[in-house]
Amino acid sequence: MKTLKIGEDSSKLAKEVLKDLRASPSIELFKCLQCGMCVSLCPAARYSDYNPREMVKRVLDGDEDILSDDDIWNCFYCYTCHSVCPANNSACEVNQILRQKAINEKDGLDKISSFLTYGDSFVEIGIGSIPSAFFDQLVEDFGEDWLNLKINLENVRKKLGLKPVLLPEESIEEINLILKNTKFINRLERIRRLE
C-alpha cells in the first residue's frame, strides 16, 4: 500500500470518487460500515480474489495503488452490491470510477483494448456488435449455429417479417458526428496506439 506523506489528505481519493460524474448524488461512500454484505453476494468475489468491501476500504484509506490492482477488473457491474448495501454506498459505482481513473492514467488501457472492435462497430454501423476477438469462444460455447445465425441474420429477419437490424446511412452519419464531437473516435485511436 502506498504510504501517505505527513499533511497528505487521506480522504483525497474518496473525495475524488464522490466528485466524479459517474457517482450518484446519493452515494454514501463515507458511511460504509465494512459490514461485508457486498462481498457475501458478489459473484466476482465468489470466483476471484476481488473483494468489493476491501476495495471500498482501500479507497477510504486513500490507497491509490488500488488503481493498478488487477482485481478491480473482475467486477462485471451486476449491481448486486449496490442493491444490498445497508449504508446506501455502491461498490459498483466506486469500481467504475476507479477503472476510469486507471484508464485515464494508462494502467487500464490494456484491459479495454480487446473491446476496440466493439467501439469500431458503433463507428461503422452505428450500433454495438460483439467484438470479433470473442467469436472463437462463442462458437466453442454455442456451436457453429451461432455463427451461421450471425452471418445470415438479415435473411432470417426478412423471412420473419422483421425490419433490417442495420441502420440507414443517414443515421450512421448522425451517430458518427456524435462520436466525433464527444471524442469517442479519438479515444479509440488513443487505445489503438497503445496496442
Cβ atoms of 48 and 86 within 8 Å: the answer is: no
Q: Which is nearer to ligand SF4, 79 or 142 (CB)?
A: 79
56 binds ligand SF4 (CB under 6 A): yes
CA distance 195 to 186: 15
Cα dihedral across residues 29, 34, 35, 41: positive or negative: positive
Name the grid cell of 114.
Answer: 480487446
Is residue 80 close enough to count as binding ligand SF4 by CB under 6 A?
yes
119 lies in the site for ligand SF4, by CB under 6 A: no
* Of 54 and 64, CB closest to ligand SF4: 54
Tell me the window of 13-21, 74-82, 115-123, 162-170 that interacts with ligand SF4 (CB under 6 A).
Answer: 74-82
When asked if residue 35 is in the footprint of ligand SF4 (CB under 6 A), the reply is yes
Angle between helices 91-104 and 12-19 (to 10 degrees): 100
Q: Using the rule CB under 6 A, is 30 a contact of ligand SF4? A: no
The CB-of-117 to ligand SF4 minimum distance in angstroms stands at: 24
The size of the interface with ligand SF4 (CB under 6 A), counted in residues, is 27
Smallest distance, ligand SF4 to C-beta of residue 30, A? 10
CB-based contacts of 107, cutoff 8 Å, min separation 6:
67, 68
Among 18, 60, 66, 85, binds ligand SF4 (CB under 6 A): 85
Phi first, then psi: give them for residue 50, nearest 5 degrees: -65, 140
52 binds ligand SF4 (CB under 6 A): yes
90 within 8 A of 64, measured Cβ to Cβ: no
Choose, by CB under 6 A, the member of 32, 59, 72, 98 that binds ligand SF4: 32
Q: Which residues bind ligand SF4 (CB under 6 A)?
A: 32-38, 42-44, 52-53, 56, 75-81, 85-87, 89, 91-92, 95
